[in-house]
C-alpha cells in the first residue's frame, strides 16, 4: 500500500456525544492522555478550579464548567491518527453540535450508568441516524451505583431504536465494581480503584475463564455466579455481532467502564479503533467522492471568530474529504467562484494551534478566513468542479428581539452580530425592508442568548437589550418566485428574511402553520434550510 493510501487508512474521525454530566469531556481527556497529547487531565469543575478541560477553551466555558462550542483535537495512538470532535453536551447546546456531527465518520455516545438515556442524547442520536454512521456506546460511571445493565440495554434499544451488542459486561457497580468480562477475549479485566484519577492506568488484566476456580476468589462467589448467569443469557439471547450492521448505525457495540478512574477507557479505545471505519465517501453534485482519490476536496463545517483575542482572527474549520492537502496549494472555492490559496493551515488542540505542511482525507484543518467562507462551502481542485451536499440548517426553537443600547456603536453591533451568525451559533432575521438596527435572533438552545450577549460585550465592546418573543416555529419559504403581498397569514405570524435575504415565516404555534398552508396552497414551506 502506498504511503498516501496508508495515511488515509489510519485516519479515524469521530464525534463524542452525550447528555450533560455523563462524562463526555472526561472521556475525551483520557483519550488524549493515552495518546500522549496531554500530560495532565483537568477535571471540568467550577470556576475556582485552577485547571480546566483542554477541550473547553472559551472563557465562558471555564467559568461555567461546561462545553459551549465544539472543539477539534488530533493525536496519534497505536499507529492511528485520531481526530476527535468534542461536542457540547449541556442542555442548551447550539446548532454547532449538529454541524459537527456532519464532519464525523462515527460517533461515541456516552451514557451515565445511573441515569441511562437522557433527552439530549436522543436529539444528537437522531442526527447520527441521518448520517448513517456507526454509533458506539460507552456506559460511564460504573464505579458509582448504576442501573441494571440489562435494563440499560433495553432502554437504549427502545428509546433510540438501535440494537445493542455488549462487547464487555460489568461485574458489580459502585463500591462492588470488580471489573468487566471481555466477551471476545473471554477474559476478566479487574478493577483497582486507588489513585486512578491522576492519570495512572489502574487496570489489571487477568485471563481467567468463567470455569476457573480462582474466579470466585478474585471477585467473590456471588459476583461469579451472577456473571456466569448473565453471560449465559447474553450468549443465548443477545444480537449477534454484525460489522455491517455496526457500520450503518443499526447495531451499537456497548462498553462499560469509568472515565474518571480510567477503568475500561484504553480497552474501549483499542476496540473502537479496530471497529470504526477509515474516512467515508461523501455525496456530491457529481456523485460519490472517494476519500482515496488523489484530488483534494473539503467542506467548511464550522467557523470560529476571535479564537485569539490578540489578533481578532477568524478560522474556518474544514473536513478534508478526499486526497492530500499541501501547504500553499491553489484550490477553488466553489461558492465564491474564485481560486484561492489556503493561508496558514493549522491543526488544532482546542485553542492551541500548529502550522502544518500537509493533511489527508479524514483530517480537520483550520484556515484563516478573511470573511469569504460560509458554513457548508465546498473547496476542491480547479480541474474537477463539484459541490458537496449542503449542511442542513436546523430551525431555531427560541427567539428574541435584540438591539444595541448605544446607538453610536451600530457598526460594531452589525459586525459582531453578522460574524457570530456566520459561525452558526445563532441565526439572525430582520423584517423586510428594514436594516440591522434591530434584529430577531433565533437559537436552538437558550444558553446561546447568553453566549451571544457575552461575546458581543467581550469581543466587540457592544452591550445589548434582549426581548423574548413568543414564536416557537420557523419555516423556510422555498418558492423561487415569491411576492410577499400575496401572502395571507395571521397576525401572530411574522414574515422575515435571513442575512442571505431568504424569506422565512415565524409561527407561535402549529395552528398558525396549518392556517398559512391552507390559505396559501401555492406556498412551499420547509422545516430545514440548506447552508
CB-based contact 490:500 (threshold 8 Å): no
> Nine-digit cell at 157?
434499544
d(CA 112, CA 116): 6
What pairing do the DSSP bridges indicate for beta strands 251-256 and 163-166? parallel
**Measuring CA to CA, which residue among 378, 452, 468 is closest to residue 419?**
452
Known binder of ligand: residue 421?
no
Tell me the CA end-to-end span of the chain in Å, nearest whole number. Answer: 37
Distance of alpha carbon 155 from its chain centroid, rounded? 22
3-state secondary structure 288-315: EECCCCCCCEEEEEEEEECCCCCCCCEE
Q: Kindly report the CA angle at 264 between 209 and 19, in degrees rounded to 5?
A: 135
> Nine-digit cell at 414?
452589525
Known binder of ligand: residue 52?
no
Name the residue with cell 498516501: 4
Known binder of ligand: residue 143?
yes
What pairing do the DSSP bridges indicate for beta strands 135-140 and 473-477? unpaired
Known binder of ligand: residue 385?
no
Known binder of ligand: residue 86?
yes
d(CA 195, CA 5): 42
CB-based contact 42:53 (threshold 8 Å): yes
Q: What 3-state DSSP class applies to 235?
A: helix
Q: Is 429 exposed, middle or buried (0-12, 13-18, 19+ CB in 10 A)?
A: buried
Known binder of ligand: residue 19?
yes
> Nine-digit cell at 195?
489513585
Known binder of ligand: residue 116?
no
Q: Is 509 exposed, middle or buried (0-12, 13-18, 19+ CB in 10 A)?
A: middle
Q: How many residues does the chain have?
A: 531
Known binder of ligand: residue 141?
yes
Known binder of ligand: residue 276?
no
**Measuring CA to CA, which residue among 518, 30, 495, 498 is closest to residue 259?**
30
CB-based contact 356:327 (threshold 8 Å): yes
> Nine-digit cell at 103?
464532519
d(CA 530, CA 98): 13
Residues forming a β-bridge with 402: 439, 466
Known binder of ligand: residue 178?
no
Widest Cα–Cα separation across the chain: 83
Name the residue with cell 456466569: 228
**Measuring CA to CA, which residue among 461, 371, 466, 464 is closest to residue 412?**
461
Known binder of ligand: residue 88?
yes
CB-based contact 233:143 (threshold 8 Å): no
Known binder of ligand: residue 49?
no
3-state secondary structure 34-62: HCCCCCCCCCCCCCCCCCCCCCCCCHHHH
Known binder of ligand: residue 119?
no
CB-based contact 314:419 (threshold 8 Å): yes
CB-based contact 44:25 (threshold 8 Å): yes
Known binder of ligand: residue 166?
no
Known binder of ligand: residue 398?
no
Residue numbers in the known binding site are: 18-25, 86-90, 140-143
Residue numbers in the known binding site for GTP are: 18-25, 86-90, 140-143
Amino acid at each position: 500500500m502506498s504511503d498516501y493510501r496508508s495515511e488515509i487508512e489510519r485516519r479515524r474521525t469521530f464525534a463524542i456525544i452525550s447528555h450533560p454530566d455523563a462524562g463526555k469531556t472526561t472521556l475525551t481527556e483520557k483519550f488524549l492522555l493515552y495518546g500522549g497529547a496531554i500530560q495532565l487531565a483537568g477535571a471540568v469543575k467550577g470556576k475556582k478550579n485552577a485547571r480546566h478541560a483542554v477541550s473547553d477553551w472559551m472563557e465562558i466555558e471555564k467559568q461555567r464548567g461546561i462545553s459551549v462550542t465544539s472543539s477539534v483535537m488530533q493525536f496519534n495512538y497505536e499507529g492511528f491518527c485520531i481526530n476527535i470532535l468534542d461536542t457540547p453536551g449541556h442542555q442548551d447546546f447550539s446548532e454547532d453540535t449538529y454541524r459537527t456531527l456532519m464532519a464525523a465518520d462515527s460517533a461515541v455516545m456516552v451514557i451515565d450508568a445511573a441515569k441511562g438515556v437522557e433527552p439530549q442524547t436522543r436529539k444528537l442520536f437522531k442526527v447520527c441516524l441521518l448520517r448513517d454512521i456507526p454509533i458506539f456506546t460507552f456506559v460511564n460511571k460504573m464505579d458509582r451505583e448504576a442501573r441494571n445493565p440489562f435494563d440499560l440495554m433495553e432502554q437504549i434499544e427502545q428509546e433510540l431504536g438501535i440494537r445493542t451488542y455488549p462487547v464487555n459486561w460489568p461485574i458489580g457497580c459502585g463500591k462492588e465494581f470488580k471489573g468487566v468480562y471481555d466477551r471476545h477475549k473471554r477474559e476478566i479485566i479487574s478493577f483497582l480503584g486507588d489513585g486512578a484519577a491522576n492519570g495512572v492506568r489502574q487496570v489489571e488484566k487477568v485471563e481467567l475463564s468463567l470455569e476457573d476456580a480462582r474466579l470466585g476468589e478474585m471477585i467473590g462467589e456471588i459476583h461469579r455466579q451472577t456473571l456466569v448467569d448473565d453471560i449465559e443469557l447474553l450468549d443465548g439471547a443477545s444480537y449477534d455481532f454484525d460489522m455491517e450492521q455496526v457500520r450503518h448505525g443499526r447495531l451499537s457495540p456497548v462498553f462499560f467502564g469509568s472515565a474518571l478512574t480510567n477503568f475500561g477507557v484504553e480497552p474501549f479505545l483499542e476496540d473502537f479503533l479496530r471497529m470504526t471505519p477509515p474516512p467515508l465517501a461523501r455525496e456530491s453534485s457529481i456523485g460519490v467522492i472517494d476519500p482515496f482519490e488523489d484530488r483534494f476536496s473539503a467542506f467548511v463545517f464550522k467557523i470560529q471568530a476571535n479564537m485569539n483575542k490578540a489578533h481578532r482572527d477568524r478560522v474556518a474549520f474544514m473536513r478534508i474529504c478526499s486526497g492530500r492537502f499541501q501547504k500553499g496549494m491553489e484550490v477553488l472555492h466553489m461558492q465564491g467562484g474564485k481560486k484561492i490559496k489556503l493561508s496558514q493551515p493549522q491543526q488544532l488542540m482546542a485553542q492551541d494551534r500548529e502550522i502544518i505542511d500537509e493533511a489527508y482525507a479524514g483530517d480537520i484543518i483550520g484556515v484563516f478566513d478573511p470573511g469569504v467562507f460560509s458554513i457548508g462551502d465546498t473547496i476542491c481542485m480547479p480541474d474537477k468542479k463539484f459541490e458537496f451536499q449542503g449542511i442542513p440548517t436546523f430551525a431555531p426553537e427560541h427567539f428574541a428581539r435584540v438591539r444595541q443600547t448605544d446607538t453610536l456603536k451600530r457598526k460594531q453591533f452589525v459586525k459582531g452580530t453578522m460574524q457570530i451568525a456566520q459561525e452558526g451559533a445563532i441565526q439572525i432575521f430582520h423584517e423586510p425592508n428594514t436594516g440591522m438596527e434591530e434584529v430577531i435572533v433565533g437559537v436552538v438552545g437558550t444558553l446561546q442568548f447568553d453566549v451571544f450577549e457575552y461575546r458581543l460585550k467581550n469581543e466587540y465592546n457592544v452591550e445589548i437589550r434582549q426581548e423574548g418573543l413568543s414564536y416557537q416555529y420557523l419555516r423556510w419559504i422555498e418558492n423561487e418566485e415569491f411576492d410577499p403581498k400575496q401572502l395571507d397569514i395571521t397576525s401572530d405570524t411574522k414574515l422575515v428574511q435571513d442575512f442571505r435575504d431568504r424569506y422565512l415565516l415565524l409561527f407561535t404555534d402549529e395552528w398558525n402553520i396549518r392556517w398559512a398552508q391552507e390559505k396559501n396552497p401555492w406556498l412551499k414551506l420547509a422545516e430545514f434550510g440548506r447552508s
